[in-house]
């Protein structure tokens, strides 16, 4: 269940449009569309409640907030024969980026008849002429075999680029529809680009598809690639568990990505119920003291002789001085390395007691996000790509494609960037993690 803590007004869910959609969607005239079961959505009728448990109007008769359902419309805004579309992939890597790019290209090309599609190299850098990254022509041939590969064949980057230059390039290159694939940072960039396009009165559509293994985007039930990343993380935990079980006082410590949200760590913990302590950014823990992690580890070792600890990279940042925190080029704070910090504290703690510790530290790092997508994520990216194209061709703009309450929907970008999605320490996911690990509260004070 999606846990949304803030109020959404119906007006927050409106999707901007470039203009009236007057062109008959070529999908409607394909041979025997009814045999293929195509359903076309009436623009206003198909909506998905944000909170499925609140479907009654309020005291003033206002309907609860809902999101527009994604899917093909009978009329579109862009003339496919005249449209030039572009795709850019930004931020950190994520399994499934290539299959998403392929899905967008094939949908544009075969279903809508768009023949002019370009790929922007290395994220936002690709829009800035001084970098010298030329666009790539995208067509069924150039994307033929990319879907089986990890990484991003277009390339990605972090770091700000001037918005006005990005929009200059869109104008100069005659791009009418831009697909932006990226995480929270990219969505902020997308909103600024959309704003600049609007300020200039340009008719350029912008559709974002959320990408991040951190799964930390608001109003997005799950990002593509997340399940593949969890699967890869689970393999690291299995290694840690096998190592820990095979030695006296064996301790397997695994550090996983997750800057502000510990979804990968939590889900991987649930996927392989061998983890004894799961540490995430959302839940504070102490190391020392009667309830601290070190004492809890002692108890576990005495009771069972081995233990597995999983820590998300953003957990325990209070152990580092962050007054003058360094930032990466995109402005993301460079975190203290909680993995090696815990490793060293565990070693010192057991050495102080004169107790043998066989600790194995595993940091799978980029291996969880640069791998090819699994089948589930490939299917997922297929749907996301198709819906992104339907939305863009219809003239909708400033939106992202999201999976919400099991439906594909359109969400305005500002809604997705108003907060960061985090694990609710009082919610069902964290309760399941605590039940799986059996870990006590690791805080000294009540």
Ligand X SMILES: O=P(O)(O)OC[C@H]1O[C@](O)(COP(=O)(O)O)[C@@H](O)[C@@H]1O
Ligand Y SMILES: Nc1ncnc2c1ncn2[C@@H]1O[C@H](COP(=O)(O)OP(=O)(O)O)[C@@H](O)[C@H]1O
Query: Which of these ranges, 269-277, 295-303, 330-338, 356-364, lies near ligand Y under the rule CB under 6 A?
Result: 330-338
What is each CA distance from 27 to 31, 108, 159, 175, in whole angstroms?
9, 11, 39, 23
For 64, the token pair is 């609860």
Q: Is 98 in the site for ligand Y (CB under 6 A)?
A: no
Mark residues 158-187: x for contact with ligand X by CB under 6 A, - for none. -------------------------x-x--
Which of ligand Y, Mg ion, ligand X, none sits in contact with 421, Cβ below 5 to 8 A by type? none
Binding footprint of ligand X, residue count (CB under 6 A): 13
Question: Which single residue brings its beta carbon nearest to Mg ion?
Answer: 183
Measured from the CB atom, is 132 or 329 closer to Mg ion? 329
Distance in Å, CB of 92 to ligand Y, minimum: 5
Q: Is 186 in the site for ligand Y (CB under 6 A)?
A: yes
Within positions 299 to 328, which residues make up the interface with ligand X, using CB under 6 A? 313, 328
Binding residue per annotation — 367?
yes
Binding residue per annotation — 313?
yes
Closest CA to 359 of 280, 306, 399, 289: 306
Binding residue per annotation — 213?
yes
Provide the edge-to-edge strand list for the sheet that holds 66-69: 47-49, 66-69, 407-412, 399-404, 205-210, 177-182, 84-89, 116-120, 136-137
- Residues 126 and 137: their CA atoms lie apart, in Å, by 13
Question: CA 297, 299, 300: angle at the middle one, nearest 5?
Answer: 65
Closest CA to 193 of 155, 221, 169, 164: 164
Distance in Å, CB of 161 to ligand Y, minimum: 6
Residue from 96, 176, 183, 205 in contact with Mg ion (CB under 5 A)? 183
Binding residue per annotation — 186?
yes
Within positions 205 to 234, which residues make up the interface with ligand X, using CB under 6 A? 212-214
CB 178 within 8 Å of CB 207: yes
Within positions 322 to 361, which residues make up the interface with Mg ion, using CB under 5 A? none
Q: How far apart are the first and last CA of the chain?
A: 29
Closest CA to 73 of 106, 8, 26: 26
Question: Which single residue brings its beta carbon nearest to ligand X?
Answer: 92
Sequential DSSP letters for 44-71: TT-EEESSTT--S--TT-PPPPEEEEPS
Within positions 239 to 268, which residues make up the interface with ligand X, using CB under 6 A? 257-259
Residue from 13, 107, 330, 439 in contact with ligand Y (CB under 6 A)? 330
For 440, the token pair is 């006590």
Q: What beta strand segments (E) does 173-270 contain?
A: 177-182, 205-210, 250-256
CB 331 within 8 Å of CB 185: yes
Which residues is 362 bridged to in the sheet?
254
Residue from 72, 95, 176, 185 in contact with ligand Y (CB under 6 A)? 185
Mark residues 289-328: x for contact with ligand Y by CB under 6 A, - for none. ----------------------------------------
Distance in Å, CB of 417 to ligand Y, minimum: 8
- Residues 78 and 389: their CA atoms lie apart, in Å, by 11
Within positions 118 to 177, which residues make up the interface with ligand Y, using CB under 6 A? 123-124, 157-160
- Residues 237 and 250: their CA atoms lie apart, in Å, by 14
Distance in Å, CB of 362 to ligand X, minimum: 16
Q: Is 182 in the site for Mg ion (CB under 5 A)?
A: no
Measured from the CB atom, is 65 or 187 closer to ligand X? 187
Residue from 47, 84, 147, 188 in contact with ligand Y (CB under 6 A)? 188
Burial class (CB in 10 A: 0-12, 13-18, 19+), 120: buried
Binding residue per annotation — 212?
yes
Catalytic: 214? yes
Catalytic positions, written as ranges: 214
Instruction: Give the binding site for Mg ion (CB under 5 A).
Output: 183-185
Instruction: Give the binding site for ligand Y (CB under 6 A).
Output: 90-92, 123-124, 157-160, 182-186, 188-189, 192, 212, 330-332
Instruction: Give the binding site for ligand X (CB under 6 A).
Output: 91-92, 183, 185, 212-214, 257-259, 313, 328, 369
């Amino acid at each position: 269940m999606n846990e949304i803590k803030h109020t959404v007004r119906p007006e927050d869910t409106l999707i901007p449009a470039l203009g009236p959609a007057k062109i008959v969607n070529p999908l409607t005239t394909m041979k025997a569309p009814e045999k293929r079961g195509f359903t076309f959505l009436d623009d206003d009728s198909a909506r998905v409640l944000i909170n499925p448990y609140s479907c009654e109007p309020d005291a003033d008769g206002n309907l609860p907030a809902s999101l527009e359902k994604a899917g093909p419309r009978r009329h579109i805004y862009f003339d496919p024969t005249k449209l030039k579309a572009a795709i850019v992939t930004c931020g950190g890597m994520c399994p499934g980026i290539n299959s998403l790019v392929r899905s967008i290209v094939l949908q544009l090309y075969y279903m809508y008849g768009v023949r002019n599609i370009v790929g922007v190299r290395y994220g936002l850098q690709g829009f800035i002429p001084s970098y010298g990254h030329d666009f790539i022509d995208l067509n069924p041939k150039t994307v033929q075999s990319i879907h089986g590969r990890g990484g991003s064949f277009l390339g990605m980057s972090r770091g700000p680029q001037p918005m006005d230059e990005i929009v200059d390039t869109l104008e100069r290159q005659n791009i009418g529809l831009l697909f932006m694939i990226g995480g929270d940072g990219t969505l902020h960039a997308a909103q600024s680009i959309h704003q600049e396009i609007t300020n200039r009165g340009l008719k350029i559509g912008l559709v974002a598809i959320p990408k991040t293994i951190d799964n930390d985007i608001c109003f997005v039930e799950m990002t593509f690639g997340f399940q593949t990343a969890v699967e890869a993380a689970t393999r690291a935990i299995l290694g840690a568990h096998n190592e820990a079980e095979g030695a006296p006082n064996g301790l397997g410590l695994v550090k996983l990505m997750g800057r502000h949200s510990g979804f990968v760590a939590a889900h991987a913990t649930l996927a392989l119920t061998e983890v004894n302590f799961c540490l995430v950014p959302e839940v504070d823990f102490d190391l020392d003291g009667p309830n601290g992690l070190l004492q809890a580890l002692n108890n576990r070792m005495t009771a069972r002789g081995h233990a597995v600890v999983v820590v998300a990279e953003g957990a325990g940042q209070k152990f580092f001085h962050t007054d003058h925190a360094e930032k990466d080029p995109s402005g993301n704070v460079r975190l203290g390395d909680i993995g090696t910090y815990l490793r060293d504290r565990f070693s010192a703690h057991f050495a102080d007691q004169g107790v043998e510790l066989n600790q194995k530290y595993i940091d799978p790092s980029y291996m969880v996000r640069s791998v090819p997508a699994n089948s589930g994520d490939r299917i997922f990216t297929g749907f996301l790509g198709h819906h992104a194209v339907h939305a863009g061709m219809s003239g909708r703009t400033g939106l992202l494609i999201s999976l919400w309450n099991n439906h594909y929907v359109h969400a305005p970008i500002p809604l997705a960037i108003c907060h960061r999605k985090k694990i609710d320490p009082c919610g069902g996911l964290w309760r399941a993690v605590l039940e799986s690990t059996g870990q006590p509260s690791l805080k000294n004070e009540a």
